[in-house]
Amino acid sequence: MSEKEILQLQAGHPGRGYLLRVGLFYHAYDASAFALGRLTGYRVVERSRRGYGVAVLGFPSARLASVRGTLAAHGIQLCPADPEGNPQPAADTTPADTSAQPGFLCFESPLLLEAPETPPTPPTPANPKKTEKTEIPATQSPLLRELLAFDLASSTPMDAMNFLNRLRTTYGPQ
């Protein structure tokens, strides 16, 4: 399975994330990468591809048991997936021999993978007389309205990355 196929599969299954075995590493892409990065502490990097960019998180296959344990602590089950991306019955243990580990895994977590429906509530400003409320005209494009509505000052870096990923998915090249 290729990276492009995984991205298409993720687009068709909101709330489901995938891990692909690439050599001695497991890779997660876009929303899956951000979700795993938030839970495991692994770094998400932006990779440039032909005509598009993709967020990628990678970790050594030898660390699969640790990642599985971290996900389990958050109530998320990591299990093998068939080529159509459907979860298969999970084994209770991760093989110690990394060559025996599955090459394509999935997990379901709507809370981590779906974008929040409402923007975060901005904090109360320390000096209210310096802030101004900006009205967003209804005639502006949906992209511009989303950009103006996002409160960068009160968001975390993860919120900003998820926002940019959602914009790229919604308005990026198809």
pLDDT for position 5? 83
Using CA atoms, how far residue 34 sits from 8, 40, 86, in Å, is 17, 10, 21
Q: What is the pLDDT at residue 138?
A: 62
CA dihedral sign, ordered 147, 152, 156, 160: positive
Q: Is 117 left (phi over 0), alpha (psi -120 to 50) or beta?
A: alpha
Q: Which residues of the chain have pLDDT under 70?
A: 89-102, 109-139, 174
Kindly list the domain boundaries of the chain, sorted by start residue: 3-113, 128-171
What pLDDT does 60 receive? 93
- Residue range 3-113, CATH number: 3.40.1170
Note the pLDDT of residue 115.
46
pTM, rounded to two decimals? 0.58
Residue 148: CA count within 13 A, CB half-sphere? 12
